[in-house]
Chain A
Amino acid sequence: MTRWLRSFGAFWYDFIIGDDWRGAAVVAAALAATALLVHVASVNAWWLLPIAVIAALGWSLRRATAGKP
């Protein structure tokens, strides 16, 4: 049962998150920061998530290509 649960979790992790978990972490953090800015500081931070996603993609690509010819 434990093994089945582990492989089930591994499947969904690979399905949604894939090779680089940092992208998912950046998206989650950016969404949390956006919600805080909107609901606590009353800032309409529509620009935050696009910037975070662009940065996350660049970071992930840099890591994937570093040291490769």
Chain B
Amino acid sequence: MNSLALFLTVFVACAVEAVEALTIVLAAGVTREWRSTLQGMAAALAVLAVAVAVIGPALTLIPLTGLRLVVGALLAVFGLQWLRKAILRATGYKDLHDEGAIYARQVAAANAASREARRGVRDWYAFTLSFKGVLLEGLEVVFIAITFGGNQQNLGLAAAGAVAAVLVVAAVGVAVRAPLSRVPENTMKFAVGIMLTSFGVFWGAEGAGVSWPGNDAALLAVVPATALVALGYVALLRRTAAARRATTVPVERSAA
């Protein structure tokens, strides 16, 4: 995989997670208070930095074949989960991820919660809301950056992709001061699911000992093939749902 593909994959994946973290931070900051919210965000970023500092160098000590087997398996499972959700969303079987609605829910919950100072933090609710949001979304960022970077033995570039995504999303968030509901998040998640699954399959099989036909060039077939299969499942599920509705509605009408 060339450097540009590594950078772009990590960038898009991390941008999606950063958009979700931004929604939570904005809800906490706007509704409660910014100081405690930013303290929570800083604490979460510190925990994530420690995780990267510990796990990143440790990965370089593992033999590449073993690393590819374990990371490939994890990425394939993780990617399948993303792809499954994205296909269910694209076909209407699961609600679309709506940052505007999530923001409204977080704001309502933040407004209802009582204010309490604890451990030097003025508003404990704002602190923990921001901390949990950034930490949970950030863990996915760290996972993707470390697995991709470790496998390509280019952690620096993967980290640069992740940091660039977070900075771009934060800058846009500061500029518009609203959740980024116009970001085509569901489409991006669909694309990321395809990339995670494809690379997981490629590295996992390589780690198990196979030689891909064409070596790294096989990825040029694996990624489009995964995309085609995913789009095929979307088309199939849409057709099945339409057929079910067509047979259900006349029965309901005749019953009425």
Contacts and interface: CB of A to CB of B under 8 A. Distances in A.
Task: Report whether chain A binds chain B.
Answer: yes
Given A23-B77, A56-B80, A69 B245 contact: yes
B76 interface: yes
In the complex, which of the residues B80, B212, B248 has the most CB atoms of chain A within 10 Å of its own CB atom? B80
Contacts of A65: 88, 91, 93, 237, 240-241
A10 interface: no
Given A44-B211, A49-B204, A53-B197, A61 B81 contact: no
Tell me the interface secondary structure of chain B in the complex: helix
Given A31-B73, A65-B93, A23 B84 contact: yes
B42 interface: no
A50 B201 CA distance: 6
A56 B230 CA distance: 12
Contacts of B8: none
A39 interface: yes
Interface in B54-85: 69, 72-74, 76-78, 80-81, 83-85
Contacts of B241: 65, 68-69
Contacts of B87: 57, 61
Interface of A: 15-20, 23-24, 27-28, 31, 34-35, 38-39, 44-46, 48-50, 53-54, 56-58, 60-61, 64-65, 68-69
Given A31-B73, A57-B84, 4 more contacts: A19-B81, A27-B77, A31-B69, A65-B241
9 contacts: A17-B77, A27-B80, A27-B200, A31-B207, A48-B205, A53-B197, A53-B201, A61-B237, A65-B91
Interface of B: 69, 72-74, 76-78, 80-81, 83-85, 87-88, 91, 93, 139-140, 143, 197, 200-201, 204-205, 207-213, 218, 222, 225-226, 229-230, 233, 237, 240-241, 244-245, 248
